[in-house]
Amino acid sequence: MKTKIITALMAQLGVERVLTEAALAERYCHIWRMDQSLKAIAVVLPRTTEELAAIMKICHEYEQAVVVHGGLTNLVGSTETQADELVIAMEKMNQVEELDEKSRTITVQAGVILENIQNLAKAKDLVFPLNFGAKGSAQIGGVISTNAGGLRVFRYGMTRNLVMGLEVVLADGTIMSSMKKIIKDNAAYDLKQLFIGSEGSLGIISKAVLKLVEAPRSRTSAFVGLNDYEKVIQLLKFMDAGLAGTLSGFELIWHTTYSAMTSPPALAKPPLPQEFKYYVLLEALGSDQERDQETLQNLLEQAFEKGLILDAAFAQSESDLTWFWKIREDLHVVVSQCNNDQHFDVSLPIPTIGNYVDETLVKLRAIPEVEECYTFGHVADGNIHFVLSKANASRALTLQINDIIYAPLQAMGGSVSAEHGIGLDKKAYLPLSKTATEIALMKTLKRALDPKLILNRGKVLDL
């Protein structure tokens, strides 16, 4: 059957866009595993939605399992493959079809890189506000299918808040196209929302209409040092009120992480001394650089006088802004200092974060094989990340760490995934975040849209 499938795919796409055997040695399932050759029967490279639909009709006929590859920056195993699976790589579906300045939308194919979208918008004095460290690699189809978050969720929301229209190819090759540019469309079910965040398990995103916003005329930022988590919460409320809706970033970095991000081998120097328990990186986007800079400084001076903060460093120039945010965005600096790194992105109510992290770090550091714990996150939207360095990558150690981090979340009303999805790695922990009724309904939707269970088989749900 493998030969029949490959022959049918080659007849549809041409031999040069169906990669098999030796060509697979040059592919991989994640950008951090480029030394490991891809396991798959083949990789196909569609250029259009119609070609993608034709591929899925073939796969549906032969009940061939498929895994979709975008920028390969996923952190929960969603792009891992088996030797009997077909990989659909979206890199050639990389066309920007339209940038409509009047409706403030951009229409793109799924393989367009996030940073390219940002740059095209910027050239028209517009902004696509979704932003995170992997923007130079992440493809927009993968970004949408995982409902990615990032550094400006507090002001602009998750990816789903920025998707206006969507085109999706279903498991049987049917094309569902709802490529509208309108903000309000209350005509029955909003079907695109089914596919945003479904990790390719319900359909394959082929195109999207994305919402743009007017470019701000000012950007101000500051690093702040504190020692009390309660003061972090008070500072968030104080700054959000004082900045009158312009606060766009409020990133919290714990001491160990800040020190690693601002000490050799990291290239960045510390804007503040490495002596505080917490560091907050603030950003405000406004309309008048001089006035907004003065406003931020005045607010932080008031915060100092109120005892909310202990120290602050202001970004005085564009180079300072780049310096400050490079510290936060460059996760590779932390990962490069880890052995057998293990990543987490959890969410929980903001008031509970301080104690949860303190208690979790005590438990983690009590494990002899845990070498270091790095903690940081988008505290304004309740999202905290852990990156751990471990002496080994044993399954037993991984599960022990998982239990420590995930077990408290259900009682706290939290989630095992704030923005990375479920994939393979978190599938067993989904019941901590979703009720049995919710999971049953997810399975009903999966079986309805993908009855042969060929889309990202084995990911997200146990079926």
CATH number for region 2-91: 3.30.43.10
What's the pLDDT tens digit per position in 104-149?
A: 999 999 999 999 999 999 999 999 999 988 899 999 999 999 999 9
Q: How far apart are CA 366 and CA 126, in angstroms?
A: 49
Contact 127, 213 (CB under 8 A): yes
The per-residue pLDDT for 33 is: 76
> Taking the CA of residue 140 as centre, how many other CA atoms within 13 Å lie in the half-sphere pointing to its CB?
31
Contact 253, 187 (CB under 8 A): no
Q: Which CATH architecture has domain 218-332?
A: 2-Layer Sandwich (3.30)
Q: Which CATH architecture has domain 338-421?
A: 2-Layer Sandwich (3.30)
Decide whether 218-332 matches 338-421 in CATH topology: yes
Q: How far apart are CA 40 and CA 26, in angstroms?
A: 12
- Which residues have CB under 8 Å from 184's CB, separation 6+? none
- Which residues have CB under 8 Å from 322's CB, separation 6+? none
The per-residue pLDDT for 31 is: 76
Q: Which CATH architecture has domain 96-214?
A: 2-Layer Sandwich (3.30)
Query: What are the extents of the domains in the chain?
Result: 2-91, 96-214, 218-332, 338-421
The per-residue pLDDT for 458 is: 93
Q: Which amino acid, 420?
A: H
What's the pLDDT tens digit per position in 201-212?
A: 999 999 999 999
Predicted structure pTM score: 0.93
- For the chain, residues with pLDDT lower than 70 are none
Q: What is the DSSP code string of 15-53?
A: GGGEE-GGGGGG--SSTT-TTSPPPSSEEE---SHHHHH
Q: How far apart are CA 356 and CA 84, in angstroms?
A: 42
The per-residue pLDDT for 208 is: 98
Q: What angle, rounded to 10 degrees, do the helices at 49-62 and 2-13 form? A: 160
